[in-house]
Amino acid sequence: MNFTAVLKRMPCEVKPRLVVLYGSQKGQAQSIAEGITEEAEEHGLVAELSCLNQNEKYNLERENAPVVFIVSTTGDGEPPDNTLQFVKHIKKKTLSTDHYKHLCYALLALGDTNYANFCNCGKTIERRLQELGAKQFYATGYADDGVGLEVVLDPWIEGLWKAIKGALSKMASDRTGQFKGEVGDSAKEAPDSSVPDVQLNLLSLTDHQNCESAGASVESDSKFASAASSSVSATQTAVSDLKPESPAGSPGLASQPGGIASVSTSAPETQTGGAGVHHVALAASLTCSMPPLSESSLNVPTLPPPYLDVSLQEVDAMGEITGPSNKEALHEVPISRAAQLTRGDSVKTALLLETDIYAYPMMTYQPGDSFDVVCPNRTSEVEDLLHRLGLQDQRKHCVHVSLCKDTKKKGAQVPSHIPQNISLLYLLTWCLEIRSVPKKAFLRALVEYTRDSVQKRRLQELCSKQGAADYNLYVRDQSLNVLELLAAFPSCLPPLSLLIEHLPKLQPRPYSAASSCLRHPGKLHFVFNVVEFPACTGRPAGRRGLCTGWLFDLINPVLVFPGKAESSSSPALPKIHVSLRPNCFFRAPSDPSVPFIMVGPGTGVAPFIGFLQQREKERQENPEAVFGETWLFFGCRHRDRDYLFREELEGFVSSSTLSHLKVCFSRDDQEEEAEETAAPAGRARYVQHNLLCNSPQITNILLKQNGRLYVCGDAKNMAKDVNDTLIEMIKTELQVDQLEAMKALAGLREEKRYLQDIWG
């Protein structure tokens, strides 16, 4: 029985249903789940959307409709906060192996291969569902934010609908057969008879710079392996909104066969019309495309339905909120000291901040914990955005946000991060992440508010499947924000409601504690580099990171520079809002006799300063105790410019708190480097090289002494290089092949003896 026949047998008002469940930390998985829910109507389906923590809205124990899971991963492979209880529930050992034998599911996992435990939450849920008897009707997709989620996301969603209809048809057919008594004894049934025969093939990933070819395929890389149905078609159907819809008197999109829009890359003033168009060779950029993209038919996302009604009302007097809206969950602490750690013309500027937490005795932290700093959007950028939206004169007006009465968005809600009775200025300063990179759905929505036909076409290209490479190159990889994008497309005039619908909540920025309460009671230290975003196409001038730039401006009047004494008459101390983020895993061993190794180049050394301060105090208080070896691998560019905490680290060596300090300088003279590291000249330029130089001792600690290894710092390069080096070390020491070495390292992860605190 095919799906059409099933539909004909149903009352016209009843549509087949499916369940969409999501687990999301920052909103990406939720947004994708909402998009799938909305698109379901176009396929004659009714989708019921719920967050995984809303267990009152769904019941998997009795669910007989197809279920689609969309889940992200956070931290060191952990489930999102709103998924923790669900994962805890399905992990119960009391559940039988046929607990979910009735369940028919598909799963899309979101992750980032720059981080450890790629898509771990999705893999955990899938593994457990299968252990409990659930059947998969569509291959799992593993979307990688490291190269662009859409590379896997778009074809996965496209193939999902055929798989769902196949599953529904099979399930309906089975139920009909059972009703007629056509089904034999259950013992003779195939174990997966409740789901359709679906061929599950690996989805090949293209290089993200060649994604414009929608039908292109290359061999999949194991790091990015992402499964999808083989039914995904390489032939795409153009969408109707690309047909010319120009207002009278304005230039329209050039119509081509089939109603597909095309825009010439020629400069407008050189066009002569008709067959005599004179083309000007231009380089591709954010605002200009080149063939074949400029001549391609496009497949753009479905226009997201608007769902918010936003109005601005002038008020006589308004009690303006100052600072973050969730103050009750935060601690306002003064900065008691600020010092620059780098010297001279160092490439990066590293700063140490000391905050006073005496007023919050309950705010106890352990070395290895981190905490969030809540910062506002930059004043100049807020002002520029107000002007760009034409709302500069309404900055003090009260913002009223409500749901559109006729919205078609499923489960539409007023964003919880938009408080009541706030001004427009406050909304843009404290509530919305105006620095976030616009998603393709946002670009698609902006198309509707763009008047110039050439600019409109370019926005369509950037959000299309064919323009994926350009989107990555000119928007995503450059970290362009909405203000920079609007500056590049001056005829785009979006309403305020569109920004509130598409911009995420302004997120706090996490930092590792760089101190121990035993050494600095009532104090909390943290270290950071001032992030710099260089100028690029779409960004005429460089800019600083949001939080690091804000902190730098805030503490500049009281900043102490290397080699200079602190002023006795410093200005009033600024205050910041923080909240503690305990990390129960990234902590020194509770048993002091356990040896451990720390790898932390640059500011990645921060948590290990806390580790060593704690260890030094413990040794002083328990001189008779047995303490295991401690190793620190630190690296930086130059010994004399950015060797952070040099005096303190050398002091730890002198007191025997730190057994081995291995330092390397990637830009200094190699003879100096060899002298510092006691390694052959030219070898130890980075921390992974020093690890390799000490391979026998390190592998002995990890494989024979039950020791631990901690890595903190850059995820994209350093952490990967260290991981690869560890595999090589294990291969050599154990005389095993690559696979066995990888298994051994994975075992250390599972035992929580190989821990990472890394960032992109």
| pLDDT of 480 | 95
Q: Are 309 and 403 in contact (CB under 8 A)?
A: yes
pLDDT of residue 499: 97
Residue 39 in contact with residue 32, Cβ under 8 Å? no
CA 217 vs. chain centroid, Å, equals 25
- Please report the pLDDT score of residue 474 as a whole number: 95
Please give the C-alpha separations between residue 551 and each of 167, 363, 526, 529, 714, in angstroms, as whole numbers.
54, 21, 12, 11, 21
Residue with tokens 């959000």: 463
| C-alpha count within 13 angstroms, C-beta hemisphere, residue 474 | 23
Contacts by residues 50-56 (CB-CB < 8 Å, ≥ 24 positions apart): 50/19, 50/20, 50/21, 50/22, 51/21, 51/22, 51/23, 51/24, 51/82, 52/21, 52/22, 52/23, 52/82, 52/83, 52/85, 52/86, 53/82, 53/83, 53/84, 53/85, 53/86, 55/85, 55/86
**How many CB atoms sit inside 10 A of residue 418's CB?**
17
Q: Cβ–Cβ contacts within 10 Å for residue 441, how many?
A: 19
E strands, 657-707, in order: 660-665
Q: Report mean pLDDT in 10-residue bins for the chain, 760 residues.
A: 49 76 89 88 90 92 94 85 92 93 95 83 94 94 86 90 91 64 42 36 35 32 32 33 34 32 33 38 82 93 91 80 83 94 89 94 92 96 97 95 90 89 95 94 96 97 92 93 96 97 93 95 96 91 95 90 65 88 89 97 97 97 94 95 96 97 85 44 78 96 96 90 95 94 92 89
* Structure confidence at residue 209 (pLDDT): 34
pLDDT at 282: 56
pLDDT of residue 175: 65
**CA diameter of the chain:** 92
CA–CA separation, 685 and 678 (whole Å): 12
Residue pair 78/51 in contact by the 8 Å Cβ criterion? no
